[in-house]
């Protein structure tokens, strides 16, 4: 259960990062509210997961999921560059996260 909560919390990190960008410095109410809810749920989930998953592994997996998700949303929906080197780097992050889970 802790791993599932950690994965969902990592996905919520992507949500709050994109909402933070869209909030325009907290001047737009809806993205600001989405940011507040997503960051709160993400942190609560991370805290719950770290009760059973070691902090180094859990935090790295959480950050990795959030980082990869945020970059993918940027490339797919926000017209950020999707170059081969960026994609290779994302794959390396995914391999690192998978490795941390596998060798946990």
Distance CA 26, CA 59 (A): 26
Output the pLDDT for position 37: 99
* Domains in the chain, number: 1
Distance CA 43, CA 74 (A): 22
Output the pLDDT for position 91: 96
Q: Which two tokens stand for residue 34?
A: 């989405």
Residue 104's pLDDT band, with cuts at 50, 70 and 90, is confident
What confidence tens digit (pLDDT) does each residue in 50-103 have?
Answer: 999 999 999 999 999 999 999 999 999 999 999 999 999 999 999 999 998 888
The residue to which tokens 């940027």 are assigned: 74
Residues 25-49, mean pLDDT to the nearest whole number: 99
Output the pLDDT for position 103: 87
Q: Which two tokens stand for residue 59?
A: 């935090």
Q: Structural domain of residue 45, as residue ranges? A: 2-102
Q: Which two tokens stand for residue 104?
A: 């946990």
């Amino acid at each position: 259960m802790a791993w599932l909560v950690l994965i969902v919390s990592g996905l919520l990190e992507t949500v709050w990062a994109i909402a933070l960008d869209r909030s325009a410095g907290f001047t737009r109410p809806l993205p600001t509210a989405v940011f507040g809810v997503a960051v709160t749920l993400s942190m609560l989930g991370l805290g719950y997961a770290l009760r059973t998953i070691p902090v180094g592994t859990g935090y790295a997996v959480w950050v990795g999921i959030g980082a990869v998700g945020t970059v993918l949303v940027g490339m797919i929906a926000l017209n950020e560059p999707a170059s081969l080197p960026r994609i290779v780097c994302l794959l390396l992050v995914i391999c690192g996260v998978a490795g941390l889970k596998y060798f946990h």
